[in-house]
Structure 1
Amino acid sequence: MTPVVPRVLLVKSGGEAAVAEWRAHLQGFAPHIAVHGWDDPSVAPDSVDYALVWQPELGRLAALPNLRLVLSAGAGVDHITADPGWPRQVPLIRSIPPETAQRMGEYVAMAALALLRNLKRLVRQQDAREWTAFEVERSAPDTCVGILGLGTLGLRSAQMVSALGFRTIGWSRTAKALEGVHCYAGPGELDAFLSRCDILVCLLPATAQTEGILNADLLARLPKGAGLVHAGRGSQLDLDALLAALDSAQLSGAFVDVFAEEPLPRDHPAWSHPGIFVTPHVAATVTRRMRARFFAQQIAAFEKGEPVQGRFDPVRGY
């Protein structure tokens, strides 16, 4: 039997307690991997095979000369690719365990129902101990939910809101087909898609084309009184434009899970705006154990020369 070659993995995701948790889970799934904290002085840079990171310092990944894989602690990788010197020759793996799509679908379904039934008003009334009944104009079959971005997360979200009875449509850069969902594709069909969205859900990846896409112009192309669910990337949303659209009643409400600056500053007006639910980048969060299992599986496939899941394509941008 060929002996298993020990591998070294560095972790920068959470504090010391998080590193200990990552170590316990990863070594449970891949005992041949030695897991160390990001700044462990006992680890020589040239001994590192794998790095599991969230927001690594500029230049640190490039300083690991024998790095074989970079593992993003989240589904997004812009916290890595924002580094001009990130090692493009090293495969970059996004965290997309199977549970991620289910969690995102749950978030989108929750948000769509909350916007439909005016949950924000119900919360305000409870806080004020105010007993005031009110009517909701539409139910799910009268409401069109549009999913902007039909990747793995978008497809599952579309399936789940469709199952709740919402009329469901989707838009993607290239043509997709999904049972029960009218799919639009390409820039030429974006306006037609937006014009139907009573609730717009943004699940786009971070690319040069999606930077700032949720701006005043796009929000103005939605039906008056539409809702927004944003769980794509923080860089895609013009938060000032969202606040203005809510104040003018162009939009009736919003769920926002991702922001250009995180954590969202405590004095930002979005926290207290009556039309916004702020959530702290948790829409598709899965447990560290689930992510560790996924990463161990991808490392095992990589070491066998087999295809890996979640590999980032620098050309496509996702």
Structure 2
Amino acid sequence: MAIVIIRQDGKASQWKALLEKKSQDILIYDFGEEHPKETITMALVWQHPKGSLKAYPNLKCVASMGAGVDFILADSDVSKNIMITRVVDPMLANDMSEFVIACIFSYLKNLPFYGQQELQQRWTRMKYLRKKDVTIGVLGLGELGSTLAMDLQNMGFQVQGWANSKKEAIQTFVGEKELPQFLASTSILICLLPLTKETKNILNKEFLSKLPKGAFVINVARGGHLVEKDLLDLVNSGHLSGASLDVFTEEPLPKDHPFWGHPKIQITPHIASVSSPSSIVPQILENYSRLTKGQPMINEVSVSKGY
């Protein structure tokens, strides 16, 4: 039994070294090196090439090296009999919360406007907003969304969430029936949904038009949630006051994309939260141990739900 690491960002060898340092008795391979494919029972992946997993006849588990698993579920070569796991990292949730809170305050205090103004050597003041002036709506109350919602509540923001089930301590709108009410009362919308068949392209013109005029959108989940042209149209028409985007349909963002330089759209290069090796490595090794013993896996994904 052995592990293979499949990544396309040049970091596979780095992760191999980290894992070997923590557990020297496990055979671990970088997918770029020669390795006996029949010995592989676990694949650690991040944005792996589609079809690359079918080379392993005895594969039992595919482990995402991040919180997302949409790229695994999109690979038709992953058998339904293979277990899929993901990372649940408290540090990841805290990093995400801090990033989104920074985006919120940047919007409330007009910091992007002043950044542009500085480059133009202009001295103009804008009216700013306070916490009491906005209602923040969090789409998705999983690990990341719940952490953010609680942090915002503790800071004195008016917060509400939308999810498939009621959550403790957070005002929750549940399911399709309550979605219109949630959107109509949200002035800052934050998307932290998992990317599934149901949520793909959910941030479209019809959906976003249900927000109040002047609402602001933050997407830190997946680029596949957003119909980019629809957002652009709603910002340019004035229905939305702007957006802060960390994820995109195509990454890196193409040089000719209309988001570049748009005065009301702030973009960052998918850096809202980055998985910490110190948190991930113990989870991987624990699950590998469980796999070898035939025990239930931690953070196993429901294929039917998509998360």
Alpha-carbon RMSD across the aligned residues, in angstroms, is 1.7
Are 1:213 and 2:202 counterparts? yes
Partner in structure 1 of residue 27 of structure 2:
34
Correspondence list, 1:60-99, <5 A: 60-99=52-91
Find the aligned partners of 1:309 and 1:278 in 2 and give their Cα distance. Answer: 34
Q: CA deviation at 1:14?
A: 4.5
Find the aligned partners of 1:255 and 1:305 in 2 and give their Cα distance. Answer: 44
Partner in structure 2 of residue 256 of structure 1:
245
Aligned counterpart for 2:42 among listed residues 50, 55, 72: 50
Partner in structure 1 of residue 263 of structure 2:
274
Partner amino acid, structure 2, of 1:63: A
Find the aligned partners of 1:254 and 1:122 in 2 and give their Cα distance. Answer: 16
- C-alpha deviations, 1:82-107, integer Å up to 9, x for none? 12121221111112222111111112
Is the contact between residue 110 and residue 126 of structure 2 (CA under 8 Å) also seen in structure 1?
Answer: no
Q: CA deviation at 1:124?
A: 0.7
Partner in structure 2 of residue 102 of structure 1:
94
Which deviates further from its counterpart, 106-115 or 144-153?
Answer: 106-115
Residues 168, 62 of structure 1: CA spacing in aligned structure 2 closer, same or farther, 3 A cutoff?
same
Partner amino acid, structure 1, of 2:254: P
Find the aligned partners of 2:126 and 2:224 in 1 and give their Cα distance. Answer: 36
Q: CA deviation at 1:31?
A: 2.3
Q: Report SS of the residue matched to 1:241.
A: helix
Q: Report SS of the residue matched to 1:112.
A: helix
How many residue pairs get aligned? The number is: 307
TM-score (norm 2): 0.94
Find the aligned partners of 1:307 and 1:192 in 2 and give their Cα distance. Answer: 40
Find the aligned partners of 1:121 and 1:74 in 2 and give their Cα distance. Answer: 33
Partner in structure 1 of residue 122 of structure 2:
130
- C-alpha deviations, 1:122-146, integer Å up to 9, x for none? 211222232323221x301221000
Aligned counterpart for 1:308 among listed residues 280, 292, 297: 297
Is the contact between residue 22 and residue 289 of structure 1 (CA under 8 Å) also seen in structure 2?
Answer: no
Are 1:22 and 2:15 counterparts? yes
Is the contact between residue 131 and residue 157 of structure 2 (CA under 8 Å) also seen in structure 1?
Answer: yes
Is the contact between residue 25 and residue 293 of structure 1 (CA under 8 Å) also seen in structure 2?
Answer: no
Residues 132, 75 of structure 1: CA spacing in aligned structure 2 closer, same or farther, 3 A cutoff?
same
Aligned counterpart for 1:12 among listed residues 6, 12, 15: 6
Find the aligned partners of 2:108 and 2:142 in 1 and give their Cα distance. Answer: 24
Partner in structure 2 of residue 4 of structure 1:
none
Aligned counterpart for 2:235 among listed residues 228, 231, 246: 246
Q: CA deviation at 1:259?
A: 1.4
Find the aligned partners of 1:15 and 1:264 in 2 and give their Cα distance. Answer: 16
Q: Report SS of the residue matched to 2:259.
A: helix
Find the aligned partners of 1:31 and 1:304 in 2 and give their Cα distance. Answer: 18
Correspondence list, 1:196-235, <5 A: 196-235=185-224
Find the aligned partners of 1:172 and 1:266 in 2 and give their Cα distance. Answer: 35
Residues 119, 66 of structure 1: CA spacing in aligned structure 2 closer, same or farther, 3 A cutoff?
same
Find the aligned partners of 2:166 and 2:94 in 1 and give their Cα distance. Answer: 23
Partner in structure 2 of residue 158 of structure 1:
149
Is the contact between residue 97 and residue 294 of structure 1 (CA under 8 Å) also seen in structure 2?
Answer: no
Q: CA deviation at 1:32?
A: 2.1
Q: CA deviation at 1:162?
A: 1.6
Partner amino acid, structure 1, of 2:22: F
Q: CA deviation at 1:306?
A: 4.1
Find the aligned partners of 1:92 and 1:263 in 2 and give their Cα distance. Answer: 27
Partner amino acid, structure 2, of 1:202: C
Q: CA deviation at 1:245?
A: 0.9
Q: Report SS of the residue matched to 1:70.
A: strand
Which deviates further from its counterpart, 113-122 or 294-303?
Answer: 294-303
Is the contact between residue 202 and residue 232 of structure 1 (CA under 8 Å) also seen in structure 2?
Answer: yes
Find the aligned partners of 1:129 and 1:293 in 2 and give their Cα distance. Answer: 51
Q: CA deviation at 1:291?
A: 2.2
Find the aligned partners of 2:293 and 2:270 in 1 and give their Cα distance. Answer: 34
Find the aligned partners of 2:83 and 2:117 in 1 and give their Cα distance. Answer: 51
Residues 297, 98 of structure 1: CA spacing in aligned structure 2 closer, same or farther, 3 A cutoff?
farther
Partner amino acid, structure 2, of 1:35: I
